[in-house]
């Protein structure tokens, strides 16, 4: 039988803790004394130690044993969907990706800024572009210790170490030397980190930071509330772009809040179904199928100067598209003072040529 709380429940109870105790007298004692509850981990189970505050005394730590009744408070089990979790992990295994170890998660967490991981992923072919990206993040005030670079080959790791940069070496599995082999890795890593309570701000190494994007991102997160996705605009895949007017570009992407396992499972399933190597295709196709309710009619792409918000009832998450004039993909007739992240499509089709094109993107 579930216990009845006294009129003034302890703060821990109000935060969702379940209380198990054996007498109404213990209830009354809790009601009178117990004001704060702190959580400690004992053998993998979350139990609480009681920090009691009597109105007329100083705080003290107590253990309540009353008439043979022990008072224990236990955190409710976190809702998990083992089927969806297993599905995402299986998709990762199918492409040769092993889930992050706790040590690797801790590496990212130690570098996070306010629980947001600033992430990019590259192979040796992007070395020069990546070096420029790291410098640009520092130029806009991002400290090196808050930037997380994932290297997918030993050559890039060695090259960065020579330049005084640290990266985490992660085996991407099959086809790691080419874009299609690396593209979906960003989402697998984001899933692993997000499941540990971290937000993930990902940008491609060829997405040039001209201003710090975090203040804009944090403002949007505060505005929309709850878990969601924030991304720049693109027009691929063309069928979704034709239906919506614009799509999410996965080159600038923030996963914020704890996204449900059903979202990650649906993304992983879509990757398996399409499997063309384009993660932007997977994400947009999955969202389109799931049903995004946009706050206005047809979206704008190149002409957009405002945020567009949507919701996905199937996952109870928000989706926000950033203004193209601030986060452009079509880099012509731009104003430098407006641009936050410049992520141009390459006229030559090669990311390695982009550093030579950036200076030609602006009107002023």
Q: Is-above-0.75 flag for pTM?
A: no
Residue 32 has pLDDT above 70, yes or no: no
Q: Give pLDDT, residue 90.
A: 55
pLDDT exceeds cutoff 90 at 10: no
123-133 in b/e form (b: 16+ CB < 10 A) is: bbbbbebbbbb
Cα dihedral sign for 85, 86, 88, 89? positive
pLDDT at 339 exceeding the cut of 80: yes
Across residues 20-29, what is the average pLDDT? 38
Q: What percent of the chain has pLDDT over 90?
A: 60
Rounded Cα gap, residues 269 and 36, in angstroms: 44
pLDDT per position as a tens digit, 180-197: 667 889 999 999 999 999
263: which DSSP letter?
H
Class of domain 82-360: alpha beta
Q: Tokens in use for 162?
A: 């020579």
**Least confident range of 8-12, 137-141, 185-189, 286-290:** 8-12
Mean pLDDT along residues 154-173: 91
Q: Please report, to the nearest 10 degrees, the dihedral formed by the alpha carbons of residues 269, 273, 275, 280 taken in order.
A: -60
Report the pLDDT value the prediction gives residue 340, as an integer from 0 to 100.
98
* Confidence grade of residue 244 (pLDDT, cut at 50, 70, 90): very high
d(CA 8, CA 34) in angstroms, rounded, equals: 10
Encode pLDDT of 48-106 as tens digits: 333 333 333 333 333 333 333 333 333 333 444 555 555 555 555 544 455 788 999 99
Q: What is the mean pLDDT of residues 277-304?
A: 95
Domain residue extents for the chain: 11-74, 82-360
Confidence of residue 175 (pLDDT cuts 50, 70, 90): low
pLDDT level of residue 28 (50, 70, 90 thresholds): very low
∠ CA 251-254-260, rounded to 5°: 120
In this predicted model, which residue has the larger pLDDT, 332 or 142? 142
CA distance 277 to 165: 29
Radius of gyration of the chain (CA): 24
353 pLDDT above the threshold of 80: no
**CA dihedral for 253, 223, 320, 268, sign (positive or negative):** positive
Distance CA 160, CA 110 (A): 19
Position 203 scores a pLDDT of: 97
Asked if the model's pLDDT at residue 178 lies above 90, the reply is: no
Report the range out of 26-30, 233-237, 294-298 with the highest average pLDDT: 233-237
Whether 250 shows a pLDDT value over 90: the answer reads yes
């Amino acid at each position: 039988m579930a216990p009845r709380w006294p009129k003034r429940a302890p703060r821990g109870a109000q935060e969702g803790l379940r209380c198990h105790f054996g007498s109404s007298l213990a209830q009354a004692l809790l009601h009178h004394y117990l004001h704060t509850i702190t959580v400690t981990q004992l053998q993998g189970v979350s139990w609480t130690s009681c920090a009691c505050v009597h109105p007329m005394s100083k705080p003290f730590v107590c253990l309540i044993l009353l008439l043979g009744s022990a008072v224990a408070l236990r955190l409710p089990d976190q809702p998990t969907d083992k089927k969806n979790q297993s599905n995402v992990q299986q998709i990762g295994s199918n492409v040769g990706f092993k889930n992050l170890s706790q040590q690797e998660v801790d590496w990212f967490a130690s570098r996070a800024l306010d629980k947001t991981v600033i992430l990019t992923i590259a192979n040796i072919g992007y070395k020069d572009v990546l070096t420029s990206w790291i410098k640009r993040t520092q130029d806009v005030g991002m400290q090196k210790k808050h930037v997380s670079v994932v290297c997918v080959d030993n050559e890039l790791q060695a090259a960065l170490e020579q330049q005084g940069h640290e990266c985490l070496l992660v085996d991407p599995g099959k086809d790691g030397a080419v874009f299609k082999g690396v593209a979906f890795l960003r989402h697998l890593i984001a899933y692993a980190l997000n499941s540990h309570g971290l937000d993930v701000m990902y940008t491609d190494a060829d997405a040039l930071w001209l201003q710090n994007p975090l203040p804009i991102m944090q403002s949007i997160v505060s505005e929309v509330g709850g878990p969601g996705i924030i991304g720049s605009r693109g027009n691929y895949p063309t069928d979704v772009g034709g239906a919506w007017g614009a799509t999410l570009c996965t080159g600038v992407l923030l996963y914020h809040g704890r996204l449900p396992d059903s979202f990650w499972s649906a993304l992983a399933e879509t990757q398996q179904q399409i499997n063309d190597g384009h993660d932007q295709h997977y994400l947009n196709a999955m969202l389109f199928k799931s049903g995004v309710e946009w706050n206005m009619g047809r979206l704008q792409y190149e002409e957009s100067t405002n945020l567009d918000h949507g919701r996905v009832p199937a996952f109870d998450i928000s989706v926000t598209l950033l203004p193209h004039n601030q986060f452009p993909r079509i880099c012509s007739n731009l104003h430098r003072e407006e641009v936050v992240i410049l992520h141009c499509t390459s006229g030559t089709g090669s990311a390695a040529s982009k550093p030579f094109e950036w200076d030609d993107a602006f009107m002023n």
